[in-house]
Amino acid sequence: MSSTPNLVPVILCGGTGTRLWPLSRASYPKQYWALGGSGEETLLQQTHQRLAGLPGLAPPLLICNEDHRFIVAEQMRQIEVEPGGILLEPIGRNTAPAVAVAALHATARGDDPLLLVLAADHVVRDTAAFRRTVEAGLGAAMAGQLVTFGIVPTAPETGYGYIEAAAPLPTAGAADPQPVPIARFVEKPDAATAERFLASGRFTWNSGMFLFRASAVLAELERLAPEVVSACRAALEHDSADLDFLRLEREAFAGCPGVAIDVAVMEKTELGCVLPLQAGWSDVGSWSALWETADQDGAGNVLRGRVISEASRNCYLRSEHRLVVGLGVEDLVVVETDDVVLVAHRDKAQDVKTVVGLLERAGAPESKAHRKIYRPWGSYDGVVEGERWQVKKIMVNPGASLSLQMHHHRAEHWVVVKGTAVVEKDGQQELVGENQSTYIPLGSRHRLSNPGKIPVELIEVQSGAYLGEDDIVRFEDRYGRSDAVLKGA
C-alpha cells in the first residue's frame, strides 16, 4: 500500500444523544463520555485510537459545534493527538454539509486524500477486524468509488436503515473481500420486512461510515446537491480562525440545506458500493444497547463506578458520584449523575427521550446540562445555592486563566483548596495558595490564573442580589470568547 494517498479521518462530533440521558446531554453528549469497554477513553478518543496502523494515516479532521470545541480539543490533547483541523459548525446541518466542508478543506491546497468519515459516538469491539475492513476498501476508494461500510446484521433490527447489495456479499473472514455495488438504501423496515432482509444475505445495516477520495465525493456533491457545496464553499471562504479552530461563517452555513450524505449522494450515485463490516459495532443508541455490547459479569450485569451488586441479574448499574447498590433486582438500568438518578426497566430504557421532552417543555435545566459545566479553562460545579447566595467548586487547568471580568450584582469569596492561583484585582496581583482566600468586591475587575503544573481547585462563595451567569462584563479573554458567544467565566 505504499502508493496509498494520505488517509484523513473525518470525525463527526455532532449530536446530543438524548437516548443516553441523564449522562448524555446537549452540553456534554455521549461521544465525550467513556462508555465503550471498561477503559477511561471516551467514545471520541476510541474513534481515533482504533485507526492506529492504517496505511497513510494522517492527522484527523474533526467537525463539531461551537459549544463543544474546547471539549474536543482537550480530549485530543489527552491522547496526544494534534488534529489536522477542528472545524466549527455554527448550526447543525446534518452529514452532507459536514462531508462537503471536509472535502473542500482537504482539497484547498491541491491535495486529494482519502477521507474516512466516522461518527464519534460508535462502539467497535473488534478493532483489528475494523482496520482490516477499512484496508479492504482502500483500492475501490482510490479508484473513485464511494465506499460505505454496512454492518452485518445480527438480528432483524427495525431501528436501523438497511443497504441492499446488487450481488452477494463476501462472507465474513473472506481472504480478499471486495466492495459490492449498492442496489438501494431502505429506511427502517417493519419486523416482517427485516426478517426477509436478514434471510436474503444481501442486506446490511447502514452504519453511516464512508471511505472515498475527497475529489470523488466533492464531484458527486456538485452534481447531485450543488446548493450544499455552494453554501459550504461560501462558509469556508468567509471563515475565521479562532485559536486552534476554524469557525465557519454563520450566515452562509445557515443557508445550507440540512441533509444526510446518504440522501444527498449515496442513494443517487452510480459510484456507491458497500463493504460488509463485522467488528462488534454498535451506535450505542440506548442504555439497553450499551448493556448488550458491554462486558458483563457472570450474572449478566454491567457495573460502572461505585457500584455494589448482590443477587442482581442482567442489570446496567452506573455511578458517577454516589454509591449505587443493586440488591436482588433484575433487568434494570440505574444511572446516577450529579443531579439525576435514572431507574428504568431495560425494555423501557429507550423511552428516556420522552422524559427529556417533558423536562424541556417544563424548562428544567436537567434536560440540557449537568450541574458540572465545562469551560475552556476547566470547569465549575454548582454545589449548593440559597436566596442571594450560592457555592461553586471551580477547577482551573494548568496554564489556564479565566477572563478579565467584573460583575454588577455580586461579590465573590475564593478559597483555594488545591494548588496555587494568581489573582488579579483592579490591576494588582497576589498569589493565593492552599488554605488561603481572597475577596472580590462587587464591581472589581478581576481574573484568576493557574501558573502551576497541577489543577487549581477552589471554593467560590457568591453573594448578591442577582447570581445569574449573564452578570458578567468581559474585558479580556485568551480564548477569543465574547458575551455574544458565551456567557460565564
- pLDDT tens string 354-364: 999 999 999 99
Q: Which residues contact 489 (CB under 8 A, 6 or more apart)?
A: 375, 377, 380, 402, 403, 405, 472
What would be the CATH architecture of the domain defined by 372-476?
Answer: Sandwich (2.60)
Q: Residue ranges of the domains in the chain?
A: 7-282, 287-355, 372-476
Structure confidence at residue 489 (pLDDT) = 55
Residue 189, all three cell numbers: 423496515
pLDDT by residue (tens digit) across 473-483?
999 988 876 54
Structure confidence at residue 240 (pLDDT) = 77
* Cα–Cα distances in angstroms (integers) from residue 85 to residues 52, 104, 211, 247, in the given order: 18, 13, 19, 11
Opening angle at CA 169, ends 222 and 281, nearest 5 = 80
Region 309-332: what's the mean pLDDT? 97
Q: Give the alpha-carbon dihedral of 243, 246, 251, 254, to 10 degrees.
A: -130
The single-letter code of the amino acid at 199 is: A
Place of cell 417544563: 362
Give dist(CA 62, CA 12) in Å, integer: 6
Examine the pLDDT at 226 and tell me if it is beyond 60. Answer: yes
Region 313-338: what's the mean pLDDT? 97
State how beta strands 302-304 and 316-319 pair. parallel
Percent of residues in the chain assigned helix, strand, coil, to nearest 5 = 25, 35, 40
Per the CB < 8 A criterion, the answer to whether 400 and 450 are in contact is yes
Q: What are phi and psi of 2, to 5 degrees?
A: -65, -25
Sign for the CA dihedral angle at 86, 87, 89, 90 comes to positive
pLDDT by residue (tens digit) across 424-437?
999 999 999 999 99
Q: Which residues pair with 88 in a beta bridge?
A: 64, 247
Region 360-379: what's the mean pLDDT? 91
Give dist(CA 342, CA 2) in Å, integer: 51
Within a 10 A sphere around the Cβ of 180, how many other Cβ atoms? 22
Place of cell 455532532: 14
Q: Which CATH number fits domain 7-282: 3.40.50.20, 1.10.10.10, 3.90.550.10, 3.40.630.10?
A: 3.90.550.10
